[in-house]
Amino acid sequence: MNELLAVYPDSPPVDLARTLDLAGYRWKSVSTATEALRHEPTSGWAGAVVACDVDAEAAWAFCSALRRRDNPVQPLMVLITGGQLADLELRHDLFDDFCITPCHPVEIETRLRHLFARGGGDVRPEVVQYSSLVLNLETYQATIAGTPLDLTYMEYELLKFLAQNPGKVFTRETLLSRVWGYEYYGGARTVDVHIRRLRAKLGEEHANFIETVRSVGYRFGQSRWSA
Amino acid sequence: MLDQQRDYVLRTVEERGVRLVRLWFTDVLGNLKSFAISPAELENALGDGMTFDGSAIDGFSRVQEADVLAMPDANTFEVLPWGDSKAVEARVFCDIHNLDGTPFEGDPRQVLRRNLGAAREQGFTFYVAPDIEFFYFAPPEKGQAPVPLDEGGFFDLTTTDVAGTLRKETIRTLETMGIPVEYSFHEDAPSQHEIDLRHTDALTMADSVMTFRLVVKEVAAKQGVHATFMPKPLEGVQGSGMHMHFSLFKGDENAFYSDDDAYNLSPVAKQFMAGLLHHAAELTAITNQTVNSYKRLVPGFEAPVHISWARNNRSGLIRVPVAKRGNPSATRIEYRSPDPACNPYLAMSVILAAGLRGIAEGYELPTEADANLFEMDDASLTKLGIDTLPQSLSDSLKMMERSTLVQEALGEHIFEWFLRNKRSEWRAYKTHVSQFEFDRYLRTL
């Protein structure tokens, strides 16, 4: 393939660089999302490989920047250590596949090949559904029992995140960092304010979709697997 | 983030079949202004803003150039819950800029942004929750006193039904627009109602107050009822206030809270209160901006008259409500003089500036005045060092004119314009000969 892969961080692990070279991928390493934007080929990045094992937070922020834009970069593969497996949870939208380091070069190569083979196949609109609530991720529209909910952008993002993870309890801090991003200034109180607004819009009947878990945070609905 | 927000708005317009997007902004006197654009123009507007001639807008006009730029704040985009379901309309609040992109000095929303920026530099987020009072009347006739709904005769329904239905419908509409309501009730005066909004950051709250006033009026008008935020529409009964609850947060911590104080007030809270009390007279023209406002600020109607504070004394200017279960994040102060006819952006701006000044200069909080001040004579009040709020628009303009604090908080442009406009309002009032004078003097003199 001739297209260019974005690789993070700027001086990627030697093993990774060698594997990509030997497998015949063209790639360019970048140190920030801004740099990724600057060096992006006109046809867009063909995909990205992100090593999370050095500075995990920065790496996830990088993934987030690449995925949350008009034309999200995909496929995106992350390299993590065994100890970081828990980080994958709640970030399913940020990557397409992962490898646990250290790993055999053949594994990276095989996974990448599969990702590219799969790419572009699936164009179904993504829908998140919980009880009578439906979110169409493609059109950004939310409905409850068929009636459209008029949400502001942040309310929509918050509801989407919660509805994608029913039954899970989130702290305000988690919600703030995952929905608003790390750089948001307002503090966890912002979360309370938005939750209250979402409940108001969901209406009396459905306000209890979002439950306050005392001195912890919030939970949306029931897990599909809970008793 | 910005790209996505824009995308979200454009997509929503398409999916919901929005036909008209109303760009909202506020003039210096606090009137909601709006112009509508078609969805086709929206993408452009979100990116580059919309140029319009501001010369017709109160406080916007300048001699040299009249054109300004309205930049929609995409995060305030909301589909309007009223109107024709086949021709859906949406609104978005705008910040007004000069054509060179700098914030326009005549835009109250930009003024509040600037003051909030000053608070942020010190690590503070400013939270506000207003309790808004208003009256329902029969549609007003020119030259006639307002007719309260409760006094019957106007509706077939029993009076409680009408007002109750209106209030319920108002709250439902507010909640669909993302403005959560804390409490609502029928107030003491006939046809008077109060709706308390749940706290949020000051900019969002100022926007919410603008939306609130429109929603209350729209919902009432649909039933042929006139809702008014006039501060004192009926003589002899309570007027309408807009008590505002304030707190400053530092990150997730309420900077007003301390567990080391009898009232759970931190030094920051006390200095903020001291600043507010110290400058209260100077900023009253902004929080109480009409001739009529001062007919509310009189003894006997639960409105403040004296510049004082207390834990639980409704005659004071600042009250310190008891936080539920001693909840640190609920610790706050209540400023009781503003009325709902004020410009919320400017009122919050000057109040915040006064409070921050108190913190910066380490003002000392005067002792609590827990006696009923209305029952004390002037001599005792003077002994306690308790002053009164300005007694008229003219008095408060004089206080404001001398205030560098208010001048800095508002900026030269609005400061000058406001004084000019309000002085002329006072002049017009001063020359008016009223019914009071006929009744009192015509026969005897």
In order of start, what are the domains of chain B with their CATH numbers?
A: 2-104 (3.10.20.70), 114-440 (3.30.590.10)
Are residues A46 and A138 located together in one domain of the fold?
no
Question: pLDDT category, A184, cuts 50, 70, 90?
Answer: low
Number of domains making up chain A: 2
Q: Per-residue b/e over B94-105, b at no fewer than 16 CB within 10 Å? A: bbbbbeeeebbb
Tell me, yes or no, whether A78 lies in a domain: yes
Kindly report, residue by residue over B94-116, the tens digit of the pLDDT.
999 998 989 999 999 999 999 99
What span, in angstroms and rounded, lies between the C-alpha atoms of B146 and B347?
Answer: 27
- Domain with residue A209: its CATH number is 1.10.10.10
Q: What's the complex ipTM? A: 0.71
Percent of chain B scoring above 90 in pLDDT: 65
What span, in angstroms and rounded, lies between the C-alpha atoms of B306 and A14?
Answer: 74
Minimum distance, in Å, between the CA of residue A111 and any CA atom of chain B: 30
Are residues A9 and A43 located together in one domain of the fold?
yes
Kindly report, residue by residue over B409-425, the tens digit of the pLDDT.
999 999 999 999 999 99
Are residues A104 and A175 located together in one domain of the fold?
no
The set of long-range contacts for B36-39, using a CB threshold of 8 Å and a minimum separation of 24, is B36/B89, B39/B13, B39/B14
Q: Which of A17-31, A34-48, A150-164 has the lowest mean pLDDT?
A: A17-31
What span, in angstroms and rounded, lies between the C-alpha atoms of A108 and B429?
Answer: 82
Amino acid at B379: A
Q: Give the domain-ending residue among A118, A139, A169.
A: A118
Minimum distance, in Å, between the CA of residue A146 and any CA atom of chain B: 13
Q: Give the domain-ending residue among A118, A147, A162.
A: A118
Give the C-alpha distances (Å, rounded to integers) separating B363 from B259, B268, B270, B358, B414: 21, 10, 8, 5, 27
What span, in angstroms and rounded, lies between the C-alpha atoms of A150 and A134?
Answer: 13
Kindly report, residue by residue over B354-378, the tens digit of the pLDDT.
999 999 999 999 999 877 777 777 7
Q: Which of A155-159, B60-64, B190-194, B373-377 has the lowest mean pLDDT?
A: B60-64
pLDDT at A1: 45
B178 at interface of A, judged by CB pairs closer than 8 A: yes
Enumerate the residues of chain A whose CB falls inside 8 A of the CB of residue B120.
Answer: 185
* 3-state secondary structure at position B407: helix
Q: Is the pLDDT of residue B161 over 90?
A: no
- Angle at alpha carbon of residue B88, lines to B84 and B93, rounded to 5°: 120
What span, in angstroms and rounded, lies between the C-alpha atoms of B146 and B272?
Answer: 39
B61 at interface of A, judged by CB pairs closer than 8 A: no
Best residue of A68, A159, A171, A193 to probe chain B, by most B CBs closer than 10 Å: A193
Enumerate the residues of chain A whose CB falls inside 8 A of the CB of residue B175.
Answer: 200-201, 203
Are residues A53 and A102 located together in one domain of the fold?
yes
Are residues A96 and A139 located together in one domain of the fold?
no
Is the pLDDT higher at B403 or at A214?
Answer: B403
Kindly report, residue by residue over B251-287, the tens digit of the pLDDT.
888 999 999 898 999 999 999 999 999 999 999 999 9
What span, in angstroms and rounded, lies between the C-alpha atoms of A149 and A133?
Answer: 9
Indicate the residue of B1, B15, B181 with minimum beta-carbon distance to A141: B15
The domain containing residue A154 runs over which residues?
127-220
Are residues A132 and A100 located together in one domain of the fold?
no
What span, in angstroms and rounded, lies between the C-alpha atoms of B286 and B282?
Answer: 9
Q: Any residues with CB less than 8 A from the CB of B164 and at least 6 apart, and which? A: none
What span, in angstroms and rounded, lies between the C-alpha atoms of B153 and B132?
Answer: 27
Are residues A107 and A171 located together in one domain of the fold?
no
What span, in angstroms and rounded, lies between the C-alpha atoms of B323 and B332?
Answer: 8
Minimum distance, in Å, between the CA of residue B423 and any CA atom of chain A: 39
**How many CB atoms within 10 Å of residue B61?**
14
- HSE-up of residue A187 (Cα within 13 Å, Cβ side): 18
- Work out the mean pLDDT of chain A and round it to a whole number: 84
Is A115 within 8 Å of A77 (Cβ atoms)?
Answer: yes
Question: pLDDT category, B173, cuts 50, 70, 90?
Answer: very high
Kindly report, residue by residue over A10-34, the tens digit of the pLDDT.
888 888 888 887 777 888 899 998 8
Kindly report, residue by residue over B295-335, the tens digit of the pLDDT.
999 988 889 999 999 988 777 899 999 877 778 888 999 99
* 3-state secondary structure at position A74: coil
Is B191 within 8 Å of B163 (Cβ atoms)?
Answer: yes
**B294: enclosing H helix or E strand:** none
Average pLDDT for A78-87 = 90
Are residues A62 and A134 located together in one domain of the fold?
no
Give the C-alpha distances (Å, rounded to integers) separating B154 from B146, B158, B192: 12, 10, 16
- Domain with residue A100: its CATH number is 3.40.50.2300
> How far is CA B183 from its chain centroid?
18
* 3-state secondary structure at position B350: helix
pLDDT at B155: 47
What span, in angstroms and rounded, lies between the C-alpha atoms of A182 and B416?
Answer: 41
Instruction: Tell me the DSSP string of B115-138.
Output: HHHHHHHTTEEEEEEEEEEEEEES
Q: Which of A54-63, A215-224, B266-275 has the lowest mean pLDDT?
A: A215-224
Are residues A18 and A112 located together in one domain of the fold?
yes
Q: Which of B152-166, B176-190, B341-355, B378-392 has the lowest mean pLDDT?
A: B152-166
Q: Is the pLDDT of residue A152 over 80?
A: yes
> How far is CA A42 from its chain centroid?
24
Is the pLDDT higher at A139 or at B344?
Answer: B344
pLDDT at A210: 94
Are residues A24 and A112 located together in one domain of the fold?
yes
Kindly report, residue by residue over B122-147, the tens digit of the pLDDT.
999 999 999 999 999 988 888 888 88
Tell me, yes or no, whether A148 lies in a domain: yes
Kindly report, residue by residue over B28-58, the tens digit of the pLDDT.
999 999 999 999 999 999 989 999 888 777 7
- Work out the mean pLDDT of chain B and round it to a whole number: 90
**B11: enclosing H helix or E strand:** helix B2-15
Tell me, yes or no, whether A44 lies in a domain: yes
- Measuring CA to CA, which residue among B143, B135, B152, B157 is closest to residue B339? B135
Q: Give the domain-ending residue among A98, A118, A138.
A: A118
Question: pLDDT category, A189, cuts 50, 70, 90?
Answer: confident
The tokens for B98 are 């000069």
> In A9-140, where do the E strands start and end?
26-29, 47-51, 76-81, 97-101, 127-130, 133-136
Q: Which residues pair with B291 in a beta bridge?
A: none
Find the Cα–Cα–Cα–Cα dihedral A31, A33, A35, A39, rounded to 10°.
120
Instruction: Tell me the DSSP string of A112-148.
Output: HHHHHHHTT---PPPEEEETTEEEETTTTEEEETTEE
- Please tell me what DSSP assigns to residue A75: S
Enumerate the residues of chain B whose CB falls inside 8 A of the CB of residue A172.
Answer: 252
Are residues A106 and A9 located together in one domain of the fold?
yes
What span, in angstroms and rounded, lies between the C-alpha atoms of A29 and B234?
Answer: 73
Query: Contact A152/B75, CB-based, under 8 Å?
Result: yes
B125 at interface of A, judged by CB pairs closer than 8 A: yes
pLDDT at A166: 86
Tell me, yes or no, whether A227 lies in a domain: no
Minimum distance, in Å, between the CA of residue A22 and any CA atom of chain B: 37
What pTM was computed for the model?
0.79
Q: Is the pLDDT of residue A183 over 70?
A: no
**B51: enclosing H helix or E strand:** strand B50-53
Give me the phi and psi of B296, to 5 degrees please: -85, -35
Length of chain B: 445
Give the C-alpha distances (Å, rounded to integers) separating A133 from A129, A145, A220: 6, 6, 12
Q: Which residues pair with A4 in a beta bridge?
A: A26
Q: Any residues with CB less than 8 A from the CB of A180 and at least 6 apart, and which? A: A154, A186, A190
Q: Per-residue b/e over A132-145, b at no fewer than 16 CB within 10 Å? A: ebbbbeeebbbebe
Tell me, yes or no, whether A226 lies in a domain: no
Are residues A64 and A86 located together in one domain of the fold?
yes
Enumerate the residues of chain A whose CB falls inside 8 A of the CB of residue B76.
Answer: 152
Q: Is the pLDDT of residue A123 over 70?
A: no
B12 at interface of A, judged by CB pairs closer than 8 A: yes
Q: Per-residue b/e over A48-57, b at no fewer than 16 CB within 10 Å? A: bbbbbbeebe
Q: Are strands A47-51 and A4-8 parallel, antiparallel or unpaired?
A: parallel
Q: Is the pLDDT of residue A5 over 80?
A: yes
Average pLDDT for B167-183 = 89
Is B233 within 8 Å of B137 (Cβ atoms)?
Answer: yes
